[in-house]
Amino acid sequence: QLIREWNGVEHTVTVLKDGFDWQGRKYKSLSGVAREITGTRWNGYRFFGLQTRSREV
């Protein structure tokens, strides 16, 4: 799981084999999750504080 606080709200994302789950919705990318949380475009890995993208789950 990935946890990120944004504007005083803690957001938890579950890493799936084929994507990500946030608030019961499935996303293909972390960037999509970050966009939903912030309302703007983000590099999802940077938003969640990850250094490199890993293909392993």
pLDDT digits (tens, 9 = 90+) for 6-15: 999 999 999 9
CA 32 to chain CA centroid, nearest Å: 7
Q: Give the Cα separation of 21 and 27 in Å (integer).
A: 6
1: number of CA atoms within 13 Å, CB side? Answer: 8
**pLDDT value at position 54?**
60
Facing residues of 27 across strands? 20
- Percentages (nearest 5) of helix, strand, coil residues in the chain: 25, 35, 40
- Rounded to an integer, the average pLDDT of 29-51 is 95
Per the model's pLDDT, the better-predicted residue between 20 and 57 turns out to be 20
Using pLDDT thresholds of 50, 70 and 90, give the confidence band for residue 55. Answer: low
Q: Is the pLDDT of residue 41 over 90?
A: yes
